[in-house]
Amino acid sequence: MNLSEIFRSQSFVVSIEIFPPKSSEGDVALEKNLCTLTACNPAFVSCTYGAGGSTRDRTLHWCRHIQSDGKRTAMAHFTCVGSTRDELVQWLLEAKQAGIHNIMALRGDPPAGETSFRSVEGGLSNANQLVELIRETCPEFGVGVAGYPEKHIEAPSLEADLQNLQRKVACGADAVFTQLFFVNDNFFSFRDKCDALGISVPVVPGIMPITDFARIKRITAMCGTVFPESLASKLESVKDDASAQFEIGVEHAIRQCEQLRNEGVPGIHFYALNKSDACQRILTGLQIPTAAASI
């Protein structure tokens, strides 16, 4: 199924994001966690495309693997980084041949140490161009794009960033998946602004369960995500206790997701970071039936 069909057929779409591990130990751990994650019955599992295009083949490998039982749906992330237009087309055709029908179309980040993105000669500069290319090359694909409730870190203003989002949707995106955030009011205000601009595709909040405070601090600093002071001090007070951090993170995510669901979001995209415990606990807490619970 492609993204449009998924959102048409389900009233609440849960998706889970993983990344291709860099080691054989990571592969083994993901294999195990993927079983638990898919038992939570997500509508689809998405797999990231490594920084600098470093996981070109492994992204497709994991997407093929997700779909190998013929019942699960995958979405492959794809960025413009380091590829010419022809190379991007080549990869899209490979994805199509591998049976992938959904692509998260992204520009990608500048290489480490650089603050601005530079496309390669003959390459693309922005995600909206990639959406256009997908629509030309594989029009039947489902296309997701990134949205930033708290503004993309390079954008001069939220308004300019929203105009970019509007452009990506006008080029043919089927759904928007947001950057992680912890303050729901920022998402609701972003959603109102999307509505005002006539962005009518599903805008799906991205939630990252906090399982490790130090790691989440690094991630939020990188993406410019607002981290509430009250949550930070709660986590700081248990900074040497991994299981207490996990419990606080899970509780926060359950409350965040409950409020989002009550406010009518079309689904939730979970940044699982290749772990399964937190997502499983959150989905159980939200009483979204998992395969394990329905046996």
CB-nearer residue toward ligand FAD: 62 or 246: 62
Which amino acid would we find at residue 212? D
* The token pair that represents 197 in the structure block: 């601009």
* Contact code string over 31-60 relative to ligand FAD, x by CB under 6 A: -----------------xx-x---------
CB-nearer residue toward ligand FAD: 150 or 161: 161
Could you say which of 5, 17, 136, 263 is catalytic? Answer: 17
Q: How many CA atoms lie within 13 A of 133 on its CB side?
A: 27
Q: Measure the CA–CA gap between 164 and 148, rounded to whole angstroms.
A: 11
State the Cα angle at 158 between 130 and 200, rounded to 5°: 60
- For the chain, report the end-to-end CA distance as a whole number of angstroms: 25
Contact residue for ligand FAD among 33, 38, 67, 79 (CB under 6 A): 79
Q: Which residues, 58 to 77, sit near ligand FAD by CB under 6 A? A: 77
Q: Which stretch binds ligand FAD (CB under 6 A): 32-40, 93-101, 148-156, 239-247?
A: 148-156
* Contact code string over 260-289 relative to ligand FAD, x by CB under 6 A: ------------------------------
- Tell me if 254 contacts ligand FAD by CB under 6 A: no
Q: Which stretch binds ligand FAD (CB under 6 A): 22-30, 91-99, 152-160, 250-258?
A: 152-160
Q: Measure the CA–CA gap between 138 and 119, rounded to whole angstroms.
A: 22
Judged on CB neighbours under 10 Å (0-12, 13-18, 19+), 65 is middle
Question: Is 17 a known active-site residue?
Answer: yes
CB-nearer residue toward ligand FAD: 15 or 245: 15
- Tell me if 164 contacts ligand FAD by CB under 6 A: yes
* The token pair that represents 141 in the structure block: 């694909």
Which of these, 253, 244, 246, lies nearest to 286 by C-alpha position?
253
Contact residue for ligand FAD among 56, 58, 101, 152 (CB under 6 A): 152
CB-nearer residue toward ligand FAD: 49 or 246: 49
Q: Given its phi and psi angles, is residue 225 left (phi above 0), alpha (psi -120 to 50 degrees) or beta?
A: beta
* Contact code string over 99-128 relative to ligand FAD, x by CB under 6 A: -----x-xxxx----------------xxx
| Catalytic residue IDs | 17
